[in-house]
Amino acid sequence: VYQAKGQAFSTTALVGGDAELAARFQNGLFANLYLSPRDYHRIHMPAAGRLVRMLHVPGALFSVNPTTARGVPGLFARNERVVCVFDDDTLGRWVLVLVGATIVGSMATVWQGRIERGGSVKAWDYAPGQVTLAQGEEIGRF
């Protein structure tokens, strides 16, 4: 169970119900970065990595501002998300989760383009070395 902005949610819920993926990160570390509407909405790699898998998890688009986040149970595991699973020789397997919000009309990655909203959970698997990104490299945008 993680807590972000006063809300608890499970790793399994955050990654779209994939219990096997979630189990790899039980008792792991995480950071939650909030982008206000006036902030830069491009996402950059926090570390180098090879993309292994991407999941699009449809969901609501609640505001993620601190006031709303405190009042919506499990908000980060209920909003639309893009789960990017990376592998790296130093860090091993790690995940970056982009969480949509009210004003976010779309999410896009540099390797897949714009992610279409709606439907059910969708997964893309990538061959080793197919998508390799350096630390600091842009990976997507809201």
H helices within the chain, ranges in order?
11-14, 19-23, 66-71, 75-78
Domain count, the chain: 1
Q: What are 27-45's pLDDT values in tens digits? A: 888 887 777 777 888 999 9
Q: What pLDDT, on the 0 to 100 scale, is given for residue 54?
A: 97
Q: What are 71-118's pLDDT values in tens digits? A: 887 777 888 999 999 999 999 999 999 988 887 768 999 999 999 888
Q: Could you give the CA distance from residue 121 to residue 55 in angstroms, rounded to a whole number?
A: 7
pTM here? 0.88
Domain range for 59: 2-141
Backbone angles phi, psi at 82, to 5 degrees: -120, 120
pLDDT at 5 over 80: no
User: To the nearest 10°, the Cα dihedral for 53, 54, 59, 63?
Assistant: 120
